[in-house]
Copies of this chain bind each other. A is one copy, B any other.
């Protein structure tokens, strides 16, 4: 299976094609006709394409090529960010993936510019970086709960697009995914955590309190999509009530991003025949 055998076109997941998120059904599977078992099987097959592209990116990184890829994952609690890391990034070599998770900022982080902790985790050459939450929290939870004055968070949209343009200029491909789940699906997922002793640890009572701010969060996400969806660092709106669809879609988004990098195997910076002789004599 080559990178051109895409089971769905990721372009239709761009915010401009999807329209306002209030009109997007989180149970949809845009561009994909199959069901769960087909979707899972295709994701696993496409995992081999992704793993091959990832290894090429890694090889380039080791050969002096500065390029990297950054996947930003955002979504409400239980939207499946962790599952993406496990089931999508879990299909490629761990050596080529750098994972960063951004929770509530520490005192030290709060004492710095909001991008300070983010810049420290930007992927190195040859790596696929995955941000489980990101700098977008500074215009999401911060906006919803007014953790800083209006003028401060309102100025951050432009700061964020400038930052991302800078990343792209310095050879990091940036793709951003909003995992879109429904209010009902979130309740079901939280309830399942309370039904199973092996899932209790994932349950946080604060998540129920946050559900009261659902519509404010949806507005904040819409503002993010309206203000920060730039072609250099595109957003994708991924309906996520079906976990299998979200994982398939993110697999395709990564394959598409990596395919644009034209990752042929790096040429050897040595005389292969000379080295073969030297090696045989060693």
Contacts and interface: CB of A to CB of B under 8 A. Distances in A.
Interface of A: 59-60, 62-63, 82, 85-86, 89-90, 93-95, 97, 99, 101, 132, 187, 190-191, 194, 197-198, 200-203, 205, 208, 211-212, 265-268, 270, 272, 275-276, 278-280, 282
A159 to B, nearest CB: 28
- Give the oligomeric copy count: 2
A215 to B, nearest CB: 13
B270 A205 contact: yes
B94 A201 contact: no
A132 B94 CA distance: 12
Given A187-B282, A201-B63, A86 B90 contact: no
A156 B88 CA distance: 42
Given A59-B201, A200-B268, A272-B194, A97 B95 contact: no
B94 A99 contact: yes
A279 B187 contact: yes
Contacts of A197: 265, 268
